[in-house]
Amino acid sequence: MVMAMAEQQLEIIDIPVDVPVLTVTPSAVAVIRNLLQQRNIPNHALRVFVTGGGCSGMQYGMAFEAQAQEFDKVVAVDGVQLLIDPTSMIYLKGATIDFVDSLIGGGFRIDNPNAASSCGCGHSFKGKEGGEETSASGGGCSSCSSSY
């Protein structure tokens, strides 16, 4: 009986097999590589993750880590490794990470096909699940810059 209830609550989200896990542009790879060298942590990887919060309901995060966790997906691009946990993978599958150098707020930018909408800051988005938005937030702040 308990097992049947647990199975009923389980939600399965299909992720197309032909969608790349994550694309990282050459400019983003170069910036990540430079940051690893500057911080003297050449063997670390960049964790890319999604958490609840932000002005649109979900937000991106990045942090350097020494090693992958048990269920992480490891994406290697030109000698740089990125780590993505299984939950974040649901929201990041097929996304592209770029680095935009701009006088008015340059930084990492994530182009995410899984976002129903994004805030101007690039830190926050509403996910879409089955074509519908997954955030309860009204979304979007007016004082954001345009990149992460």
Q: Going by DSSP bridges, is the β-strand pair 22-24/45-52 parallel, antiparallel, or unpaired?
A: unpaired
Cα(93)–Cα(100) distance, rounded to whole angstroms?
Answer: 21
Please tell me the pTM assigned to this model: 0.67
Domains of the chain are 19-130 (2.60.300.12)
Q: How confident is the model at residue 133 (pLDDT cuts 50, 70, 90)?
A: very low
| pLDDT number for residue 18 | 58
Cα–Cα dist 64/36, whole Å: 8
Q: 132: pLDDT confidence band, cut at 50, 70 and 90?
A: very low
In which band, very low, low, confident or very high, does the pLDDT at 139 lie, cut at 50, 70 and 90? very low
The pLDDT of residue 43:
94
Total residue length of the chain: 148
Dihedral pair phi/psi, residue 51, rounded to 5°: -135, 165
Element (DSSP H or E) covering residue 99: strand 95-100
pLDDT digits (tens, 9 = 90+) for 10-63: 444 454 555 578 899 999 999 999 999 999 999 999 999 988 876 657 788 999
Dihedral through CA 78, CA 50, CA 110, CA 103, nearest 10?
-100
131 vs 75, more confident: 75
